[in-house]
Structure 1
Amino acid sequence: MLGSNQYGKAEIRIVRVDRRPGGDELTDLNVSVALRGDLAASHLTGDNSNVLPTDTQKNTVYAFARQHGIDSIESFAQRLAEHFVASQESIREARVSIEQYLWRKVDGNHTFERTAETRTATVHHGPHGTQTVSGVRDLVLLKTTDSEFHGFVKDRYTTLPETADRILATSVNATWRHDGADPGAAKRALVEAFADTHSLALQQTLYGMGSRVLERCPEVVEVKLSLPNKHHFLVDLTPFGLDNPNEVYYAADRPYGLIEGVVRRDGVEVPEEVVWSF
């Protein structure tokens, strides 16, 4: 029998330029649409009478960008999701996911430099209402001190020495479920908590970052964090007759520790729409 299924247009690349007297504004997006509903006939018999072509979905994204503009990726995603459900009798649920590549204006007019991090937003719209999840990906943070790691389990395979002073670095991948939260405020809370937490473990830092978002952003009900530990190891310079007082490090890209967790307000349940995915 046919189980859960969905279809849509993935990774629709769109760049919108807003021409303004004080200088152009650039919005650079990667939009993915997924639809669910009465679609069994297409799978079972090839009957496409309930199928809105994915090419039409792509064209809708471009048309909406022109007709309505893109004030925020959350509102743009919600507008699209509501449209697909309202305009198609066979569609009961829509999920629109957006990646926003950020550009910094260089000359105050029309030259831009792309930054490393990516903003994200996913909107689920269906019979149970609308759920919005915003986030940030590849937000690289590093602190040169105020980080320790000791007191851990040791067995016959343990070679890692304890340390009371180390570099702590990560590439933050975070999402937060909310109802109208300011994504800028959530990101600032993440960065500030990373900076001012004297860390005894990256796990402790993760909880501090998620808690800070909940404290600063009352509209946020849940924060999910994935923090790869971007290890920096002290280089042994004794073969060259040199000491190394925490100054020269080797930056290892793999393997790496991966710390992941959820910080959620008490009593908050996870709606089905948030976990709808393959």
Structure 2
Amino acid sequence: MTPADLSAAIVRILAALQASGRLGAAELPAEVVIERPKNREHGDWATNVAMQLAGKFGMNPRAFAELLAPELEALDGVAKVDIAGPGFINITFSAAAAGEAAKTIVEAGAAFGRGTDMAGIKLNLEFVSANPTGPIHLGGTRWAAVGDSLARVLQAQGADVTREYYFNDHGAQIDRFARSLMASAKGEETPEDGYAGAYIDEIAKRILDETAVDVLGLPEAEAQETFRAAGVALMFQEIRESLHDFGVDFDVYFHENSLYESKAVDRAIARLRELGHIFEADGAIWLRSTTFGDDR
């Protein structure tokens, strides 16, 4: 018996108790919470249904649990039902029932746990989105596992899921990355706010070796832009390959820099200025969020 089966069985028991007059009139839930006990010695599954519903029926939780317990014990596969504390119900299944559940899972194969509850729903799930200023680290890898697992769970229930990686390839951190690469290529010290490490030296060398023009012979601003573009591209490729090797691929890779190249940011600021929603102060552009109910 799966947690969903157990939840449905409890709802049926509640309805039967109402029909027999042993439980008063009140709206029954469509499902109840089934979870693992904190201590597995207390049972296979636990529910706080008595704690949640007793008040609706004018009963104390312990008495409500005592009403449910014999009915639960009568279910096929249930070996024991214990009531703990003020009304928590712990349920233990027989070894045969556990084996039957395992058999059901194995026979269902990849179809086990799938459903259509989210059929027709489209979701955009953005995860990882690490800055392209260095190789992906354990923290980013963890979010890759969590995000992709969530996407798979949603898809298993029929959702149309788009996996998106938002590539933060614009801003101060990218400028520091470019300056770090250029300093390495010149044999200079890493900038105080820059990035250091063997990977910086390796990328800088690749850019020098693989760029057709003499990068260091370009004007400084042009050279820095060359290091930025080439360095980000190399990091982007490495991150994609690392995630692919980890078993995670994305449907969409959105580049933040594209918003600046397309002038979308400039157009947005111009539109907000036109509507009176932004102002300039202290050398910065501010959104007048108080217009929309935000605290100052």
Give the TM-score taking structure 2 as reference length: 0.21
Higher strand share: 1
Give the TM-score taking structure 1 as reference length: 0.22
